[in-house]
Structure 1
């Protein structure tokens, strides 16, 4: 009887162990939504950069526009490699987890089979039909007979459950082995993709070096171009400064006139209202618009539907000429031929002008904030016109080298701001 108790206890322990093993096969799926979004964004940027690069290459001579497009592709390509590396990291983690799980399940299954074989062997020697009957009829009482009969049934049920559990674990193990094979194949594909992307990056860097070498041979023309740009930038700066000063003066005059009218009407005291001379005096409606514009920092619409930042805000070393520093009051956004420029926020067109080297200019007022669009080929708005967010204000100019580039600036009163920190992430 003691031997049967031991067998029954062994069966129950093995069933519990198998249940734990089955639970370990249930893994929570990992989310890779961020990586998928990055992958889609990189593909979009590569497609845009390729299109822009092909347009700049339509001209036989190398250009800064071509160099900028290649740099954009290099930047995106590095992002692609980082993305693939992250995917590979996740795959390797999954492979290691699956390998550990498979090893554990194989070990459990071997122990289970060995224990089950021992039980079958022992049962074959001691629990044939004659011995079972003798075991039952050797009972000293009816209660003992009933208990022994229950033990035999439980023992038989436990063996059946054990066989079923062995089958389930074997099935789960085979599934995990298939998963492991798929993950290893996925890992191999990711490694091959990573290698291909790195080769593509090296190829792009080679193209960049070739363009830089070609441009270096045009040093004299590049220096003349830098001088022309600096002269155009100064003229644009003067135009913007004049327009801001005029708007400040106009708003100040309007505020003084309103204050005087209110005083005559007895609405306020006759004391002269203090008017700021270094910032726009705003009506309540303008103040609301200004506050709304400010509240959208980092979320403003891009002034073009497609493109990339080819030159950032501030001072930068020239990409080809050594020792030459260029300063950008805004950002340059390189895009495709025929692309439209659009208002980034609601406002009023303050001025439409033309500056040599910057082509057509549109300046839009948003309270005490101003957005400036330069290098426009055509203009589709007029001074004093109210515009809404996303309204087209004109098309962007394409230069003789085939480069289509918008100069975009943001000002608050007389202070120049970095537009990149105001635009929404692409």
Structure 2
């Protein structure tokens, strides 16, 4: 009875260890996916922001680019550290499990050997027959027969459990060797990334020393730049309010608030489709990195200056085509004095905004499809920067584009 209980406990421990291992494996996959993301982002940054050494970028642009690169590299280091730490925990858990399995296997083998010896001593058919014939009645003989069968089955179960434990031990040893290799590789890679980060931080500090010498001028430029952005955003918001009012008037809903669209059944269906693709929409450019994120953030030049970004700024290559991220209708082509054109596309009660265009391929009222080219991004000839401003609005309220675009 004691041996049977031991068998059940050991089997349960074996089965319960499987979900834990799977959970750890899933966490490793999640971390590896993030690590690959940051590695790819660094490649994109190098290709889009640091490849053209001949172009003379402004000091401010250099600091912004380097600041972005440093932040991504720090994220890469953190994720790699998390992976290495998780591997350390998995290695320790595997080593403990291997030790426990070895003890269990030894106990199982000792019990099995003891059973074999007992079986050998009483193996003759005559002994078994006499054991049955010496029963006081038929009921006792039946129970003895069942006992013999159960004992034989238990022997077979013990043999199978030993096989399973031995196989599990072999698998754990293989996993342990792989985990140690993976950890060594991660540690080595992280060491190289940290060296590169140190170089970039020194370069960043050298640039900031130059900026601090004339900080008031650069801070003034940053404020002026933000004022220009705010001016364009206010114009976009005004046009969206006008579009809502015009659309609602056309639908005969003049009393409706001008902050929300009154939708036709067709527009409702389009809005639902747009919403159902949240997080899966294609990028508005084929290649790009988000240099400025959505929301309020301090300027990398002067921390006292606040950047208020209604959308994102995507750095890309010269001559890059801009694509509509979803089916819709061009609601406005906005041309503002001292600024580059803006295209606004309506998707039900959602509007996507594409700023800093150089060429426009569409006109107001055109129906567009997902990934249809609508124009080209403007390239600043003085610093070589090609930057697309991209925003998402629900009615008159801004949304974070990173929540809508795939892996932004």
Scaled by the length of structure 2, the TM-score of the pair is 0.71
Cα gap change, 1:410/1:91 in structure 2, threshold over 3 Å: closer, same or farther? closer
1:85 counterpart residue number:
81
1:263 counterpart residue number:
none
1:328 counterpart residue number:
309
2:367 counterpart residue number:
386
Give the counterpart of 1:316 among 287, 297, 302. 297
Q: How far off is 1:403 after superposition?
A: 1.9
2:137 counterpart residue number:
none
Q: Does 1:229 align with 2:209?
A: no
Q: Does 1:407 align with 2:389?
A: yes
Distance 1:118 1:278 in 2: 87
Q: Do 2:327 and 2:369's aligned partners in 1 also have CA atoms closer than 8 Å? A: yes
Pairwise mapping of residues 13-24 of structure 1 onto structure 2 (< 5 A)? none
Gaps of 5+ in 1: 1-11, 145-153, 260-272
SS in 1 for 2:364: coil
Distance 2:293 2:113 in 1: 75
RMSD: 4.8
Pairwise mapping of residues 86-101 of structure 1 onto structure 2 (< 5 A)? 86-101=82-97
Q: Do 1:334 and 1:404's aligned partners in 2 also have CA atoms closer than 8 Å? A: yes
Give the counterpart of 2:44 among 39, 48, 73. 48
2:355 counterpart residue number:
374
2:30 counterpart residue number:
34
Give the counterpart of 2:272 among 273, 292, 296. 292
Cα gap change, 1:56/1:236 in structure 2, threshold over 3 Å: closer, same or farther? farther
Q: Do 2:360 and 2:374's aligned partners in 1 also have CA atoms closer than 8 Å? A: yes
Cα gap change, 1:56/1:410 in structure 2, threshold over 3 Å: closer, same or farther? farther
Cα gap change, 1:141/1:238 in structure 2, threshold over 3 Å: closer, same or farther? closer
Cα gap change, 1:214/1:105 in structure 2, threshold over 3 Å: closer, same or farther? same
1:213 counterpart residue number:
209
Pairwise mapping of residues 115-130 of structure 1 onto structure 2 (< 5 A)? none
Distance 1:356 1:395 in 2: 19
2:68 counterpart residue number:
72
SS in 1 for 2:75: helix
Cα gap change, 1:356/1:182 in structure 2, threshold over 3 Å: closer, same or farther? same
SS in 2 for 1:306: coil
Q: Which has the larger radius of gyration?
A: 1
Distance 2:57 2:50 in 1: 13
Cα gap change, 1:354/1:227 in structure 2, threshold over 3 Å: closer, same or farther? farther
Q: Do 1:408 and 1:419's aligned partners in 2 also have CA atoms closer than 8 Å? A: no
Cα gap change, 1:116/1:407 in structure 2, threshold over 3 Å: closer, same or farther? closer
Number of residue-to-residue matches in the alignment: 385
After TM superposition, the structure 1 stretch with the greater mean CA deviation from structure 2, 273-282 or 92-101, is 273-282
1:192 counterpart residue number:
188
SS in 1 for 2:34: helix
Distance 1:284 1:177 in 2: 64
Pairwise mapping of residues 59-208 of structure 1 onto structure 2 (< 5 A)? 59-107=55-103, 176-177=172-173, 179-208=175-204
Q: Does 1:337 align with 2:354?
A: no
Q: Do 1:56 and 1:401's aligned partners in 2 also have CA atoms closer than 8 Å? A: no
Q: Do 2:324 and 2:374's aligned partners in 1 also have CA atoms closer than 8 Å? A: yes
Cα gap change, 1:286/1:185 in structure 2, threshold over 3 Å: closer, same or farther? closer
SS in 2 for 1:359: coil
Cα gap change, 1:184/1:296 in structure 2, threshold over 3 Å: closer, same or farther? closer
1:6 counterpart residue number:
none
Q: Do 1:298 and 1:424's aligned partners in 2 also have CA atoms closer than 8 Å? A: yes
Distance 2:374 2:277 in 1: 21
Give the counterpart of 2:286 among 287, 296, 305. 305
Q: Do 1:350 and 1:384's aligned partners in 2 also have CA atoms closer than 8 Å? A: yes
After TM superposition, the structure 1 stretch with the greater mean CA deviation from structure 2, 285-294 or 416-425, is 285-294
